[in-house]
Amino acid sequence: MPKLPLQPQPAPQPAPQAKAPAKWAPTVFEAKCIVQPKVDKFTIEAGKEFAFTWTFKNIGQCDWPQGVRFLRVQGDDDIVSAPWTHNGPAVAPGEQLEVTLALKAPKHPGQYLSFYRLANQDGIDFGEKVWLDVTVVAPKVVEQIKISPIENQILIDGSDNVDPMLKSQKMLEKFDASPMNRSIEIDARSAESNDFEI
C-alpha cells in the first residue's frame, strides 16, 4: 500500500493577549493671574476691613468646576480672610475667573505678607501664586480740646504730632468761651465804671 504524503501542519497561533487597561490621566488645572491689585504695598489702620480682587485665566486643557477655592498657602495668618469658593458655572479653557477676597487687618501695627493660590475641591492648590503685602498702622487719634468743668482747666487730648500754633489757637478759643474768662471780663468792666477816690 503506497504511503500518503505528510500534510503540512498549520503553525501554532499565539494566544490572544488581553488588552492593557487605559492609563488614567489625572485632571490638571492650570491658571495664570492676569489682573491683580494696582498697589504693591498697602497701608491700612489696625482692625479695618478691606477687599482685594484678582482675575485668573484658565490656561489648561480642563474646565474648572464648581467648588474651586482661593486659599492662603503661605505667610502671615494674622490677616483674617473670609472663605471664598467658586459657585458659578464651570470655567472653560481660555475663560477668566474673578476672585474678590474680603479681609480684615490685624489688630497690631506691623508688616504682614501672605500668599494665596487657587485650589481644587480637595484643597490641592494650582496656578500662579499671588501675594498681599500689608503695612498695618495704629488708628489715628483725633485731638480733642476741652475745659474741665470742675477746675476750669484746659485739657488737650490726642497726639503730640500737632502744630503748636494750632494748639495755641484752639486753647485761646476755648479759654475765651470759658465761664471763668467771662467772669473776669465782667469784673474788669465793673471796676472801670466806678470812680475811686483816695
Is the overall model pTM greater than 0.75, yes or no?
no
Residue 58 CA neighbour count, 13 Å, CB half: 18
Q: Mark the ranges of the chain whose per-residue pLDDT is less than 70.
A: 1-11, 15-26, 141-198
* Burial per residue of 164-174, b for 16 or more beta-carbon CB atoms within 10 angstroms, e otherwise: eeeeeebeeeb
- CATH 2.60.40.10 positions along the chain are 31-137
pLDDT at residue 184, rounded to an integer = 45
pLDDT at residue 57, rounded to an integer = 97
Query: Which residue(s) pair with 114 in the sheet?
Result: 75, 132
pLDDT at residue 42, rounded to an integer = 87
Residue 130 burial (CB < 10 Å; 0-12/13-18/19+)?
buried
CATH architecture of the domain covering 31-137: Sandwich (2.60)
pLDDT at residue 41, rounded to an integer = 80
What pLDDT digit, counting tens, does each position of 119-158 carry?
Answer: 999 999 999 999 999 999 998 754 444 444 444 444 444 4
pLDDT at residue 146, rounded to an integer = 47
